[in-house]
Structure formats: structure tokens, C-alpha cells
């Protein structure tokens, strides 16, 4: 399975992606997670990315394309992958096409997860992530809260709010999404590999993907 999860920030790509990882055993590759890891480690890339992410802008295409090139060549991606948060621009999509061509691989599908702006803003404002393992929670919804406030169910470490989940940065990220990422909907639709799922309920998105792919 080679799948792209497309959708605005807060559409639930990470949540649906983790459900698919459990079901199909393919890795979820999130460029956002990789960048946050670089920031945590204090690498030169992390230092540059930190400032860009904090203001809700996009990291340069060359940087993320190289990250993806490296990741896809790892053994864990031999039988497929889920891309979450990549590509985010037409330029990145073109580079991904080249990369897959070189590897003799094809995308199976691009899932566009659609959620209203109101829900996105509510979700992102209440999102909390584990500072260690990256598990995602939402304090507004009873079924997405951790068992113990502020503590990760998975690894027991502290939950934090992402620096770019503040109100102003959320709006900026949505603007960037509309301008730079939404054109990918037409790009993949023209290829006949795009399908859409309403994302208010992530489990329903998961079920829809499973009914499409079987297994």
C-alpha cells in the first residue's frame, strides 16, 4: 500500500494514519514528526525548521524532499508507506513522482480528508501531543482524552500543546494550506487516484479506506 493522506492541518491525518499502521503494518511517514524530532535534537536543520514551523510557514521543498528520499530508501518502506503531511506543494508532488518512478513504484491512492474550518480550529486548539512518543490526544472530546490529565497513555510522559497550535498560527497554517497544498487535490484528481472522505469522525475515514483496500 502506497498512500498519501491529504487534508488541512487538524483533518485527522495522523490519527487515521496510526489506525492504518496498525491494520496494514506499513510505516506512517510524517514530515512534521521528522522535523519536530530534529528540533528536539537541536540539529542545524531543527534550528532552521523551528522558526519556520512556529510561524506556520512551510519548510523549503528541497529540505523535505531530501528527508522523504532518505526515508523511502529505508527497509521499512519496502512494502509500502503512508505519507502524512507530504507532499504539501505541487513542487513536492512532482519530486515525489520522480522519486517513485526511479524506484519503479506507484501510488495506490490519495485520500483527501475533508473537515470544516470550525471543527479544525476547535480540534487544533484542544490538541495535545506526547512530548516523547508523539501520541495525539484531544482534551475537548471525552473519547480522545488521556486516562490521566497531562500524561501519555502510551508511554507515561508529559503531554504538551504544539507550539504551532496557538490561535494565530492555526489561522496562518490554514491560509498556507489553501494557497499551497489545496491545489494538490486537482493534481491527484486529474490522475484518477484521489478519493475523498469526510473527516469529522476519524474511525469512519479509516473504515472507508479499509473498504476501498480490503484486508
Binding residues (CB under 6 A) for ligand AMP: these are 9, 30-32, 35, 52-53, 56-59, 64, 85-86, 88, 92, 164, 173
Measured from the CB atom, the residue of 45 and 211 that comes closer to ligand AMP is 45
The answer to whether residue 69 is catalytic is no
Q: In terms of C-beta distances under 8 Å and separation of at least 24 residues, what long-range contacts does 40-46 make, across chains too?
A: none
For 206, the enclosing helix (H) or strand (E) is helix 202-213
What is the nearest approach in angstroms of ligand AMP to the Cβ of residue 211? 26
Question: CA 114, CA 96: separation in Å to the nearest integer?
Answer: 23
Question: CA 206, CA 18: separation in Å to the nearest integer?
Answer: 10
Strand partners, 194: 110
Pick the catalytic residue: 28, 95, 173, 208? Answer: 173
Measured from the CB atom, the residue of 42 and 142 that comes closer to ligand AMP is 42
The answer to whether residue 145 is catalytic is no
Measured from the CB atom, the residue of 12 and 85 that comes closer to ligand AMP is 85
What is the nearest approach in angstroms of ligand AMP to the Cβ of residue 127? 10
The answer to whether residue 162 is catalytic is yes
For strands 28-30 and 81-84, give the pairing: parallel
HEC-encoded secondary structure of 10-77: CCCHHHHHHHHHHHHCCCEEEHHHHHHHHHHHCCHHHHHHHHHHHCCCCCCHHHHHHHHHHHHCCHHH
What is the nearest approach in angstroms of ligand AMP to the Cβ of residue 105? 19
The answer to whether residue 122 is catalytic is no
The answer to whether residue 127 is catalytic is yes
194 in Cβ contact with 1 (< 8 Å): no
Pick the catalytic residue: 36, 71, 123, 162? Answer: 162
What is the nearest approach in angstroms of ligand AMP to the Cβ of residue 85? 3
What is the nearest approach in angstroms of ligand AMP to the Cβ of residue 214? 28
Q: Which residue is nearest to ligand AMP (CB)?
A: 32
HEC-encoded secondary structure of 95-125: HHHHHHHHHCCCCCEEEEEECCHHHHHHHHH
Measured from the CB atom, the residue of 142 and 160 that comes closer to ligand AMP is 160
Q: Which residues are catalytic?
A: 13, 88, 127, 162, 173
Amino acid at each position: 500500500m502506497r498512500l498519501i493522506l491529504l487534508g488541512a492541518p487538524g483533518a485527522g491525518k495522523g490519527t487515521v494514519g496510526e489506525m492504518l499502521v496498525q491494520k496494514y503494518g506499513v510505516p506512517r511517514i510524517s514530515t512534521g514528526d521528522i522535523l519536530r524530532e530534529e528540533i528536539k535534537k537541536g540539529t542545524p536543520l531543527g534550528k532552521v525548521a523551528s522558526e519556520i514551523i512556529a510561524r506556520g510557514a512551510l519548510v523549503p521543498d528541497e529540505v523535505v524532499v531530501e528527508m522523504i528520499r532518505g526515508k523511502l530508501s529505508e527497509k521499512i518502506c519496502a512494502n509500502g508507506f503512508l505519507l502524512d503531511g507530504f507532499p504539501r506543494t505541487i513542487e513536492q508532488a512532482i519530486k515525489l513522482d520522480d522519486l517513485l518512478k526511479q524506484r519503479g513504484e506507484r501510488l495506490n491512492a490519495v485520500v483527501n480528508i475533508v473537515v470544516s474550518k470550525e471543527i479544525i480550529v476547535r480540534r487544533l486548539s484542544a490538541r495535545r501531543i506526547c512530548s516523547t512518543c508523539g501520541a495525539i490526544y484531544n482534551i475537548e472530546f471525552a473519547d480522545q482524552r488521556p486516562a490521566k490529565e497531562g500524561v501519555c497513555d502510551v508511554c507515561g510522559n508529559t503531554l504538551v500543546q504544539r507550539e504551532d497550535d496557538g490561535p494565530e498560527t492555526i489561522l496562518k497554517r490554514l491560509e498556507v494550506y489553501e494557497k499551497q497544498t489545496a491545489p494538490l487535490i486537482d493534481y491527484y484528481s486529474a490522475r484518477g487516484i484521489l478519493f475523498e472522505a469526510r473527516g469529522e469522525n476519524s474511525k469512519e475515514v479509516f473504515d472507508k479506506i479499509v473498504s476501498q483496500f480490503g484486508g
